Amino acid sequence: MHRLTGDVTSAEQVTCAVQRAGELLGGPSDVLVNAAGVYRIRPLLELAADDWDEMLAINLRGPFLVGQAVAAALIEAGLPGAIVNISSTAAFVADAAEPTAHYNASKAGVLALTRQMAVEWAPDGIRANAVCPGVIDTPMLRLMDEPAAGQAYLDAGVPLRRLGNADEVAAVIVFLASADASYLTGAAIPVDGGSTAI
């Protein structure tokens, strides 16, 4: 098992990591999951330009750079592939109680980027889709810091009335990356317990 690390906001480091991965795999990776991301709560009037730039650099520039490098390697080799970008239900809805304009904008950008990847790279056999998690039980989640308030939110805003778990998101990612999703590209799949349906 090999582990490669790098800064997704650095074009040079991304290029080196993708090239090294290809060497270790004996050819370009045919599956990419763009999952690097950060989440920070900050009201718009308190949001500094540096905070905005950092969020978009990691959450949007990162998927662009890595997706571009992987697609270029696949196209050069004449191989098909699948890209799964991690967006968020925050790309669809705002939240006054947990203000994250810079996060929301970055994740909406991921959806637009995904659609463009899908359209441009379809002739080369590369599919691109996005997964949009809702409230998922991960260390990043702040909703349940106050359990009573968190449960009230789940009861009112999530039809399944519970948090999702990482395995449920991973299952959708695996499906989108697999041959079972061979006619699916440019899609954004919410994994949110129904929250975006209400």
> What is the Cα Rg of the chain in Å?
17
Q: Which residue has the tokens 């990419």?
A: 32
For 14, 151, 154, 196, the CA distances from 157, given in Å and listed in that order, are 38, 10, 5, 9
Give the rounded distance of the alpha carbon of 7 from its chain centre. 16
Which residue is catalytic, options 39, 103, 153, 183? 103
Strand duo 81-86 + 31-34: pairing: parallel
183: annotated active-site residue: no
* Catalytic site positions: 103
